[in-house]
Amino acid sequence: MLNELYDAARSLEAAGISPPDWHKEYVPVRAPKLAFFVYIDQQGEITAIERVGDKADVADLRTWESKGDLRQSFPYFNIPPLLWIEFDPEQNEDDKSIKKALKANKLTREQLVQLLEKTRNDEPTKKWQENFRNKIGKCLDKGRVLKSVLGEAPQMYQSIIELIDRLENTSAEDLYNKLFKTLKDKMLTQPKAAGKYFDGLFSWSEEGPGNDVTLFLELVDGASRFEYPVKNKSVRDWINDRLLSQVENRGASSPTLDIFGNHSVGWELTFDDVRMKNTLGIVKLRAMASAAVCQYRYGKADAESCRVGQESRRKMKGALEWLTDPSHKGKTWDTVARAADNKEILLSYPSMLPPEPPDIAIMFGGALESDTDNTGRFENCAQNVTGSLRGLMAKNPNLDIRVFVLRKMDTARTRVSNHRRYSAQHLIDSAKNWQMGCRNLPRILIKQFVHGGGRPEWREAQTPFPMEVVWMLNTFWSRGMKGTTKGKGQPQWSPIAVKDIAAEDGISLLLEEGVFLQPILHHALYGATRNGVGLVLALGQAHAQDQVFTTDKNYARQAVILPSLLGILLFKINITKEDYMKSPPYLIGRLLSLADQLHYHYCQHVRKNSIPPQLMGNALMPTALEEPVKALALYSNRILPYQAWAKTVSGDPVGLARYFLSELGKTCSEVSLSKISERCTDADKAQMLIGYLARTEKTDSETKQKGE
């Protein structure tokens, strides 16, 4: 990972971008579950407390934190709720009434007084335990140590020194009492707002209270009396500079160089952790691991075999923090959690970085949407990226794009996968070819509810993002699971998450070609025809009956991107619709789809709408996908009663019945002229599935008339 990060650092340096160098112990505050601003007056008393409503208000704040059993930090730290009480709304009527009022935001002052009285008298009620008091006492002590480190502060940064001075004589017990009084008074005077503060005062968890409440200490007169309050960015930057100035040998020269050609001073020290505000959390950088036994042939291991000095470390840490900054989400990085792994992110950036990087990462589709109405998303992203890259290429014709995935293996290890460089023109061409592959389909429409309900609509197949392809290939559609399909006569199908393909494979499907692509391509084709066949059968059964296949809304989008996935995979093995629409597998799929429609039409008029769990063609599809000759033999016997009915029927159903009969005859004639393989390849299966979903003008016009 070090090579990739140093490469990124060089790109930032060339662009004139200087990521801030943060002291390793001056860290971002973790995203709080429940947080309060606590305002301190000149006497060290708490005069106000306000709940943090928007986490964005504290997203950039940092605290000085030292590791250890108690994890001391200042000026922001976590505490447990003040009281651990017995609260049983299931058994106790008073507790039930309080919980109901709290949920409805209608808690009364009398109920609060009643609850506080109960906690005063109940033996089980507990305050902070000794280990909590020790931890919070250490955090307050940390502030006093910070004052000695900071030294004399300029007037504009005096607020942090003033905060420490005001808390000089405050112990953990004092802080507890002041918080309790302030929270109690706040809730009693504003009972309608009590719900915002209730969890800061009370905990009734069976496991006991945890450090779930974050305190942000601030001066009550910080904005009026001082140039900058404690939480101001200028104060944060000054604190960081003072902490960095204490680092020994910072910027010192060294007679030896590290592996990147910089001074090697500090190579023997542990790398600083990188705290990222995404799914990876804390990332530990390291040079080499002693587990790689090949190092020992040279008599060196670990850092000795791969020296990385402090200067190089600072650049790499800054590059990773800059690339993964929350403001760059969708630009230089994005999550791929839903596609492959909960502990992965994708990074992508141009070798020549502009101050505002283009939205390259989002084109891979890491942050997937659950909504089915995403028409044109990939097309729009590709168009925006193409425009941005062409602008950069005008200044640098040799512009290339770096793409890689970071995967958190465990707490201590983070691995790089699929680190590749592609020319910007190759990325543009690949996006264009991807869209062409998605159009490698006959006319396919999927009936779905959109915009949260209402009347269903027939929707065209949509272009998937590469990470959506990974998501689809990692979903197996299984028949017979509990209630995922609503609708008369439809079987039940459920999506099951599997691990067949990795995020880097999705990148390769978009960007690789030739021998590098072939193994991944054939594995993807196998996965699509194995895992997706259940979804195709569900859609075909529903469409033959003019119904909607409904499933978990988080998986509904797969219905409109599965056909495109099959089209892309065939396109990449040079099988285009102009050829495969004449092939036996495709025609067999069409034949079975027409058989479904004729069978359903027959059941409507002869069996008085008594529809079997599976229509004829739907039931034969699994056999046809493996042994097409056997499936055709079964078809020739089972179709006879429906053919006989279609030939003799009169009245209203005659038009559509004769149409299906005619189409079946044409398709059978085309199939009979072709040589049918005994077994289907994965490419054959993909063509057959597409044929089964393909629609004709006649069936759509009839469906439209029926809907009207």
First to last CA, the chain: 60
- Residues 6 or more apart whose CB falls under 8 angstroms from that of 72 comprise 65, 66, 135, 138, 139, 141, 142
Across the 708 residues of the chain, what is the mean pLDDT of every consecutive 10-residue run?
A: 87 89 88 90 93 88 77 89 77 79 79 77 69 89 92 93 94 92 89 83 72 91 92 95 76 71 82 78 70 61 75 89 90 82 84 89 70 66 93 92 85 76 95 96 92 81 94 91 46 86 92 93 96 95 90 90 97 95 94 93 87 92 95 93 87 78 85 83 96 74 42
Is the CB of residue 131 less than 8 Å from the CB of residue 124?
no
Cis before residue 75, ω within 30 degrees of 0?
yes
pLDDT confidence of residue 372: 47
> Which two structure tokens, joined as six digits, stand for 691?
């044929």
* d(C-alpha 135, C-alpha 172), whole Å: 9
Q: Could you tell me which of 454, 401, 38, 438 has the C-alpha nearest to residue 220?
A: 38
Cis before residue 358, ω within 30 degrees of 0?
no
Query: Dihedrals φ, ψ of 374, to 5°?
Result: -120, 35
> Which two structure tokens, joined as six digits, stand for 151?
């030294």
> Which two structure tokens, joined as six digits, stand for 272?
């600083």
> Which two structure tokens, joined as six digits, stand for 183?
């929270």
Beta strands 475-479; 493-497: pairing state: antiparallel
pLDDT confidence of residue 447: 92
Q: Could you tell me which of 360, 356, 355, 350 has the C-alpha nearest to residue 382?
A: 360
Q: Is the dihedral of CA 260, 263, 269, 270 positive or negative?
A: negative
**What are the extents of the domains in the chain?**
2-19+253-313, 26-244, 584-707
- Count Cβ atoms below 10 Å from residue 126 Cβ, excluding itself: 16
